[in-house]
Structure 1
Amino acid sequence: MMSGFSRSWTVGLLATAALLTTTACGSGTADTSAGSEGGKPEVIAAFYPLQWLSEQIGASDTQVSVLTAPGVEPHDLELGIQQVTQLKNAALTVYIKGIQPAVDDAVDPETSFDAATAVQTIPAGEHEEEHAGEEHDHEVAYDPHIWLDPARLATVATKLGERLATADPAHAQGYKDRAAKTAATLGTLDQEFAKGLGACRTKTMVTAHEAFGYLADRYGLKQVGITLDPETEPSPTRLSEVGKLAKAEGVTTIFTESLVSPKVAEVLASQVGAKTAVLDPLESKPSGDYVSAMRDNLKTLQTALGCTS
């Protein structure tokens, strides 16, 4: 007959095995099981741009983990039990409501920072009526892609510095100083975009999906998305509408993305006599970092829109 101690020990092993199995079955989830190191507060970033920001501001005073593995569409993220538990135990979780419903459901309001609350948002895609009745990841009325405007991200940096200072008072000044430095870097990037996109042959950018609304809003461009989100196939009517607009406005480039199939964009480009180019929405880690990838985007836009700086 098994003793009470043996039964408890066995149940504990089985529970641990079940936890590991469930976690291993998650889709698109990065390994965040390391926990904090040396007593440092753990900061969990939902996906790459927020990871970059958290690392710039947290630096050696925090242990930063990211939920979304490189090369994975953030919208596809699923969480295992271990990740959900870690979110509950983290000093701070940095996310954007509306990008990843699994994260929206799992975060603790007391120990999380929704970056969208720090800035003025803009409405979601202009052709949402096409998706009425469909289930998709846009569960908020605003466009959640705020990180594609460096000026807005600079505001987020300042607020994140304040939140980290509150969570870890012993290193408060370091967080605030690094937040100010990061905001200045983003301010410089903002100035580069403003100058580089100030005089262009066309201001219309046709994109695979409507991810660049904040960039367009900031720099006086007009975004025309083939679809509202990367999970949805455009209707024939929508393709026809975008094609007519592209021809009328002299669009020479249709922008695709690194994590989304370029097929639809390529079909549209062939119909209007345009070429394609990759414009990175930075939802996953690029070959460099946020700043270098945004500068690459600027060069791509300048070439495609015929800009002179």
Structure 2
Amino acid sequence: MLKKVIRGCFVALFGFVLAACSAQKEASQVQPGMKIVTSFYPIYSLVKEVSGNKNDVRMIGSRQGIHSYEPSAADIKAIYDADVFIYHSRILESWAGRLEPNLQGSSVKVLEASTNLPLTKVPGLEDMEAGQGIDEASLYDPHTWLDPVLVGQEAVAIGELLAESDPKNADYYRQNAATLEEKAQKLADKYSPIFSKATSKTFVTQHTAFSYTAQRFGLKQLGIAGVSEEEPSPRQLAEIKEFVDTYNVQTIFTEKGASDKLAKALASSTGVDLKVLDPLEADPENNLTYLENLEQVLETLAQELK
């Protein structure tokens, strides 16, 4: 009986050691890859999809918009500790141009994803040039991530940046980027005929983030300037009421997370409907791909204009 017990223990121990050795072997075969940090949600999502399972991809400032965002000391440390930092545009994330990794003893590569994208000037500022007190960042519209075709182009650019940083996996990144670009083009192709048949081509937004969307699909975006998430003043409400009456506005699109005070004030003073049109600056945290989230935005707009 004792021999059987000893034999059973030996077999169990041998099996445990064998499993442990196997696990160590598998762990040794896993490549840690690059440590990549990105700026806001669209870039994070695209980098994550193009990178696949090759790298550790993380994002700073995941729960807030990007326009007023300034990186914390912890964010800066995370960037300097990374192998690669990818951001959208110096027009949007001007703070990225102030990073000084060499002075901090960091070898991180700081990469701009939208370098080759055709940025357009903000409507009304087409004839102005940077300089003499005019900041370039105030002239150009950075919201290219709301046009599916430009999303595809930025995915390809990200694929090239990753390929240059990690040549052994270059083909993998480029293939993932090409697949994403194809999906983005299909999304544009899906909504082009929908918007072309829309009875209305004009929409009104609190946040004028959708100029590239409008350009892509032959629409016109009108913005209500100076309306924040706080309760509008009586003067602002009077101006908005005049705007609504002049353009026969039925719906005003607000940002996700707009305050109840804003919604109630606009609704009671103008009688218009308020609907959310998400500019996708903060992480929706819904486990959808970026293009799936963008499709939801386009569908919301299409339903309003049909």
Please give the TM-score of this superposition, normalised by the length of structure 2.
0.74
1:150 aligned residue (129, 143, 148): 148
2:58 is equivalent to residue 65 of structure 1: yes
Structure 1 residue 149 displacement after superposition = 0.6
Aligned to 1:223: 221
Within-5 A mapping of 1:199-210:
199-210=197-208
* 8 Å Cα contact 2:147-2:212 kept in structure 1: yes
Structure 1 residue 228 displacement after superposition = 6.5
Corresponding letter in the other structure for 2:141: D
2:86 is equivalent to residue 121 of structure 1: no
Point out the more displaced range, 233-242 or 139-148: 233-242
Aligned pair in 2 of structure 1 residues 126, 261: CA closer, same or farther (>3 Å)?
farther
1:93 aligned residue (85, 89, 95): 85
Aligned to 1:29: none
Corresponding letter in the other structure for 2:244: A
Structure 1 residue 89 displacement after superposition = 4.3
1:41 aligned residue (34, 39, 43): 34
Measured in 2, the distance between the counterparts of 1:230 and 1:182 equals 35
The total of aligned residue pairs comes to: 261
* 8 Å Cα contact 1:254-1:265 kept in structure 2: no
Corresponding letter in the other structure for 1:291: L
Aligned pair in 2 of structure 1 residues 199, 107: CA closer, same or farther (>3 Å)?
farther
Structure 1 residue 238 displacement after superposition = 6.5
Aligned pair in 2 of structure 1 residues 80, 272: CA closer, same or farther (>3 Å)?
closer
Aligned to 1:81: 73
2:160 is equivalent to residue 162 of structure 1: yes
* 8 Å Cα contact 2:252-2:272 kept in structure 1: yes
* 8 Å Cα contact 1:253-1:274 kept in structure 2: yes
Corresponding letter in the other structure for 2:201: K
Measured in 1, the distance between the counterparts of 2:253 and 2:136 equals 21
Structure 1: 5+ residue stretches without partners: 1-36, 129-136
Structure 2: 5+ residue stretches without partners: 1-29, 103-107, 127-134
Moved over 6 A (4+): 231-238
Corresponding letter in the other structure for 1:302: A
* 8 Å Cα contact 2:146-2:279 kept in structure 1: yes
Aligned to 1:178: 176
Structure 1 residue 205 displacement after superposition = 1.2
Aligned pair in 2 of structure 1 residues 155, 107: CA closer, same or farther (>3 Å)?
farther
Aligned pair in 2 of structure 1 residues 229, 174: CA closer, same or farther (>3 Å)?
farther
Measured in 2, the distance between the counterparts of 1:180 and 1:107 equals 32
Based on CA coordinates, which of the two structures has the bigger radius of gyration?
2
* 8 Å Cα contact 1:255-1:265 kept in structure 2: no
Measured in 1, the distance between the counterparts of 2:174 and 2:227 equals 35
CA RMSD in angstroms comes to: 3.1
Structure 1 residue 98 displacement after superposition = 3.3
Corresponding letter in the other structure for 1:85: K
Aligned to 2:191: 193
